[in-house]
Structure 1
Amino acid sequence: MNAGQRSALVTADMYDRSGKRYSLNDPRWRGEDGSPLAVSTLPGLRPEQIDTAERSLWRYHATLPVPAARRVSLGEGCTPMVPVVWAGQRVHFKLEWFNPTSSFKDRGVSVMMSHLAAHGAARVLEDSSGNGGAAVAAYAAAAGIRAKIIVPASTSAAKILQARACGAEIEFVSGTRDEVSDEAIRQSEQIPYASHNWHPMFIQGTKTIAYEMWESLDFTAPDNVVLVAGAGSNIIGCDVAFGELLDAGQIDRRPRLFVGQPEHWATIADTFNGIDPAGRGERVPTIAEGASIAHPVRLPEAVDAIRRSDGAAYAVPEAEIHAAVRALSARGLYAEPTSSVAAATLDHFIAIGEIAPDETTVVVLTGAGLKSAEKMAAVFAEHDDCAHESNSAR
């Protein structure tokens, strides 16, 4: 029997930070103690368990706690991993904008929406600065579920348009990203909360990016994975998957996780580095809007994941994010500013010698520049203005 013919569902439950356990059939999205839920450790895959007939993240359904037969899928996953010479080193860029809604969020939302649909959800609520809302809107439409997306008033018009095009109801909230989350939590008393930051099944989807790295590298782990973080779901997803593979004896070590965040929104990086985030003063708006989360709900888990990998974290100055946008585009990689934080983080850790030329390094680019057209235009207009002033001074 091949992997594609197996239909048995892996057994698991959920737990909160207090250690209390919950059934996967429990519709809750957080624990009784108010903490986020996690899915219990699942068996790691062996190469022969991959469903090679499936060209989506569901090729790894043997390690997903959702019935594959009831999946809500638009073909997410299996994104390219492109080798590029960067700062004199050969690195691999994982291009997550090849997902159906052009961001990595599709991974988590596919698994989360599959779970919710299997449990009879007819309507869902999400809060998002853009990409998460677009993904929830698309997968809710695919599942025949109504979606309401609460967004910051400053969200990019292209991302709002995408969610609206899929039939989602949009509600704008003035204020910070965290104030948007607070409003969603208030409304979750009436509408099932499909939060990509809170729902445990979202992490189960994001972990598949690590399985793809492992498979693409001939079933070995990279030495380093470089990530941008907002809420930290890719950090935790990589930690979960590489932990599963390590426990299964399929890899002999965890990759080091190198994490970057915008300087004034670097709660995970600052906490990891022993810096009080409040010491940075008032939070300054960043062009990397998708990573502007002041209070990540899974902060301890994200920090622990970086430490467990013997990794490192960096608070990226705004100017370095702008420079990374231009540097990526100059190589044909049109990544949105939030994604470009990862490239700036790569630059930093190469410069200080933490990432060496003889190591295998994967950099995750989470979303396309087309999703942030106004901000991309601002970066290049600024660059053109500087170039004009420089030429005029000669």
Structure 2
Amino acid sequence: MSLVVGDHFPQLSVEEDNRTMSASSQQRNTPASSVSSLTFQCTSCGHHEPTTTRTPSCPRCGGLWDLEYEPPRFDPTRIDTQEWSQFRYRRYMALDDESWRNITLGEGMTPIVRFNDDILLKMDYFMPTLSFKDRGAAALIAHCQAIGVDSVVQDSSGNAGNSVAAYCGRAGIACEIFVPEGTSPKKIAMIEAHGATVNVVPGSRDHCAQVCRSKVAEQGVYYANHVYNPFFYEGTKTYIYETFEQLGRIPRHILIPVGNGTLYLGAIYALEHLVSSGAIHEMPQIIAVQSEKCDPLLQAVERREPTPVTITPEPTIAEGIAIGEPMRGRQILALAKKHGVRFVHAPENDIMTARAELAAKGVYCEHTTAANLAAYRQYVREFGPTSDCLITMCGAGLKSDH
């Protein structure tokens, strides 16, 4: 299976290339197209609201919002190569205005390195707050600034909260983060350093989310949440656009950790965009990772259920994917069925071994990130040798040493 279309985009003559560069320069100096006419649509009942709404979910049925946005056909010549952040792909992102220019911290542009003959590592912890969540947070907080939000709350196992806190600090937006007990003290320290208030909630990650959402319901504060707000996925889409630009192709296998599915959803949306644009011929094999201690989506796939299975999460060092009740579970599973996604466990006892293996080759990552390599080894045991596999290094190790 080839996912390269090396001759699909015609080579430009010198004259054509100069015209393209001129157009690109004009684009950089022209405000982004307004998406004020776009709307949110409820994933359950279809109700519409303008994207300026402060309501975190459908007021009629409580369903989550999807963003009604159709990006233009992907054309690599329309990437703004003079912008050194993920917003070089802004032509394919739903952005309200030029607020991103005041928000960006240079997120994205992370290298891809070869780990061995079969594995490529996308070094997404080379980010301002040391995790891939900066992709989504930058886009989301740019939206918040554009619509005049002055205070937000968020719940997180650490990384998303840290990202939202950092970009809120940059935007001058007040921020309060809820984290479950057991969250790495270093992640908490980083959140506080950005000026945010941190509330440590006893109990599970899912209970933490419930406590935070109760505050949203009672006080009406803006819920800058990476699961609820679809602007977050406008940022995580860039993981794929960036990979395509860097390699000139898409690897045959893409392994993605799935808790709430923020990277998974953004990646699939972008891959679907590349396919529909003719940039690639077909979807790669997506490998979705869940902890063996917390696997409501994997069990649903095994049982052919359309919704996540009800489970009781057990303690796991892969805290970033310890989500027992993924709010977008139905969407995650529908896309898995549509694209033949394979789910695999990250064996708990293999995570620290994988972390040591990565560190021995210069890659010092957090536990949840090491779970990706542990899951890759498990996938090979189940499905056989797997070459040309892109694995995200989504979080840095120093944050999770506890």
- TM above 0.5, one fold? yes
The 1-side partners of 2:77 and 2:183 are apart by 43
AA paired with 2:327? V
State the Cα RMSD in Å: 1.8
AA paired with 1:128? S
The 2-side partners of 1:26 and 1:354 are apart by 48
- Residues 296-336 of structure 1: CA deviation (Å, up to 9, x unaligned): 00111112222333220012221022221122112211111
AA paired with 1:15? Q
**Alignment correspondent of 2:52:** 25
AA paired with 1:201? F
**Alignment correspondent of 1:361:** 389
The 2-side partners of 1:110 and 1:275 are apart by 36
Question: Quick check: 1:111 aligned with 2:139?
Answer: yes
Gaps of 5+ in 2: 1-22
Query: 1:10 touches 1:62 (CA, 8 Å); kept in 2?
Result: no
**Alignment correspondent of 1:350:** 380
Say which of 75, 84, 104 aligns to 2:115. Answer: 84
**Alignment correspondent of 1:73:** 104
- Residues 196-254 of structure 1: CA deviation (Å, up to 9, x unaligned): 12111111111110111111121x22211101111111111111111112122221111
Say which of 214, 217, 221 aligns to 2:244. Answer: 214
Say which of 184, 195, 200 aligns to 1:156. Answer: 184
SS for the counterpart of 2:364 is: coil
Q: What's the CA shift for 1:10?
A: 6.3
- Residues 130-168 of structure 1: CA deviation (Å, up to 9, x unaligned): 111111111000000110011112111000000001110
Matches within 5 A, 1:163-174: 163-174=191-202
**Alignment correspondent of 1:131:** 159
Say which of 39, 42, 45 aligns to 1:13. Answer: 39
Provide closer, same or farther for how the CA distance between residues 238 and 355 of structure 1 changes in structure 2, counting only shifts above 3 A: farther
The 2-side partners of 1:5 and 1:369 are apart by 39
Q: What's the CA shift for 1:21?
A: 2.5
Question: Quick check: 1:288 aligned with 2:314?
Answer: no
AA paired with 1:285? P
AA paired with 2:39? D
Provide closer, same or farther for how the CA distance between residues 253 and 6 of structure 1 changes in structure 2, counting only shifts above 3 A: farther
Query: 1:124 touches 1:192 (CA, 8 Å); kept in 2?
Result: yes
Matches within 5 A, 1:315-354: 315-353=345-383
The 2-side partners of 1:222 and 1:316 are apart by 21
The 2-side partners of 1:147 and 1:301 are apart by 28
Gaps of 5+ in 1: 375-394
**Alignment correspondent of 1:392:** none
**Alignment correspondent of 1:386:** none
Provide closer, same or farther for how the CA distance between residues 303 and 170 of structure 1 changes in structure 2, counting only shifts above 3 A: same
- Residues 344-363 of structure 1: CA deviation (Å, up to 9, x unaligned): 12112223335533xx3211
**Alignment correspondent of 2:28:** 4
Provide closer, same or farther for how the CA distance between residues 4 and 324 of structure 1 changes in structure 2, counting only shifts above 3 A: same
Provide closer, same or farther for how the CA distance between residues 354 and 24 of structure 1 changes in structure 2, counting only shifts above 3 A: farther
Length-normalised TM-score, structure 2: 0.87
Say which of 75, 85, 88 aligns to 1:46. Answer: 75
Provide closer, same or farther for how the CA distance between residues 145 and 330 of structure 1 changes in structure 2, counting only shifts above 3 A: same
Aligned pair count reads 367
Identity of aligned residues (%): 31
Query: 2:136 touches 2:236 (CA, 8 Å); kept in 1?
Result: yes
Length-normalised TM-score, structure 1: 0.89
**Alignment correspondent of 1:310:** 340
**Alignment correspondent of 1:187:** 215
Provide closer, same or farther for how the CA distance between residues 244 and 22 of structure 1 changes in structure 2, counting only shifts above 3 A: farther
